[in-house]
Structure 1
């Protein structure tokens, strides 16, 4: 059952993470990307890659996953993969209070999402709009990893995912972009003169690495394994 924790400060956040037995001081995968922006075919392909190539790496490296925690898009796909694998790795979601419907809530905001039922822990942080959770997600990943490696995986995604990626790069956290999944991931993969400055910066960062869905899906796992077991420097 998913444990929900309301947090309003970084101290609260760290206290909420503490009961995850052995979850701190472990490698961390930050998963960011599309919530409602993937079609059924894309989501199905992503589920396959997560189950076949990402989950085995998470289990063998002892990694923790931190994501957006809702029952939609890449978060739902990761929740399903986590459940199918028998919860062999801790899965933590971070949601802004005003963007989700929690047990006991009324109708909520028109675009409010449900919390994914397969996460071990969902941190409910202050905020009314999508993206208000981004800095908290970054802080959660940093608190969990401590001095261990962390890496961000981008699948699909929009403006909020771009903010998440910029926070990761500012931390010095490597970013793996799964091209072929649409939107932000493909914008980064094809960045050029017509792209926004923010997208060009992500594409041009030495911390950014591209892997293309369907070309060699096993490469996704190999790249993530390298990132999660690397020395402190990328």
Structure 2
């Protein structure tokens, strides 16, 4: 039992009465959000014929009311590696839900996909015809040519790449898609009204990129992200920005 004298000595010299030291407190996490809309107000390029489906697909789709640009990839660079979750390693499969690209009515759905490197991408065939999937990336890890019969599937883990990976079907040349692969989680694709949202961003100054591959639209913007705040942006494209690629994947 501690005597009053010993207790007074402990209090005088600041000695702890507990053998266990206080654990260090974790630094508070902080983040911000970038959201907004990508728009296009110029003329639309001609629709692309899909003979097998007897349909035409516009390579640039714009909401008639908001002028929002559909299927533009949006991402940031410049985040500190210490401020973001560890990227998925293609050599070490992580516990991440797969993303899906389906083949329906002789089209890839979605047409534009963004994914973190190493995350499984499942290519499905829910069509009535035999299909295949070709990837023509700049690296060996992002190149393949496989067959996907009705009801079949193929799973691939892409490596990060500076350019989007063109996707096609070796059986039906009108089918195409794009896969953007990043080494971080700060990426998305605009919805059918041109809207996008990037959350959990580390505060600081970042470079935001927008790329619509079928329209050739490209833009980069410096953005300041503030802790606990949402930065709203409108990113416009006009007719002079339209530069469709000369070769489809």
So what's the TM-score if we normalise by structure 1? 0.25
Q: Which structure has more helix as a fraction of its residues?
A: 1
Structure of higher CA gyration radius: 2
TM-score by length of 2: 0.24
